[in-house]
Amino acid sequence: MRDNVERWLIHESLPFEQVKSEENSFQVLVKHAGPYGIPIDIFEPKAQLGILVIGAKIEMKSNQIIRYRGFNEEERSKFANKVLDFCNSIETISKIISEDGKQKVAVYVVLDDKENINQQTMFDAIDSVSDKHEKTARFLLKTF
């Protein structure tokens, strides 16, 4: 899987770098991908070999991080459900994560049909994640 992904990225002249990860058999970061030119992670989870996950992270603004950190468990749960409902409506998987001391919302598209994972489906998924990243960022600005 790794060789194919790297070959496809090179073929499209997209620079990428390897990311060390304990949970993934491989992970690469494409610095500028999709129609919005955002950073995109592409990886294969060790727990689910043969599945390709393409994702992007939306970093919360400083005032949003401060507000989120002030939430109690119930408020965090309500916020997580709001984000989950929105992401379900745009057909993406989401996760609220803490990384580099910042709160982020990660959005993912999963390619799990091994026979149909090819260059075109991967780049379609990159474009889809880029679009979902922008929609989620706008959602966070409007509702949080």
Containing structural domain, residue 88? 2-143
Number of domains making up the chain? 1
Per-residue pLDDT, averaged over 40-55, amounts to 95
98: left (phi over 0), alpha (psi -120 to 50) or beta: beta
SS3 content of the chain, % helix, strand, coil (to 5): 45, 30, 20
Please state the separation of Cα 8 from the chain's center in Å: 19
The CATH number linked to 19 is: 3.30.1460.10
On the question of pLDDT at 100 being above 90, the answer is: no
On the question of pLDDT at 30 being above 90, the answer is: yes
Question: Whole-model pTM?
Answer: 0.90
Quick: pLDDT tens for 5-20.
999 999 999 999 999 9
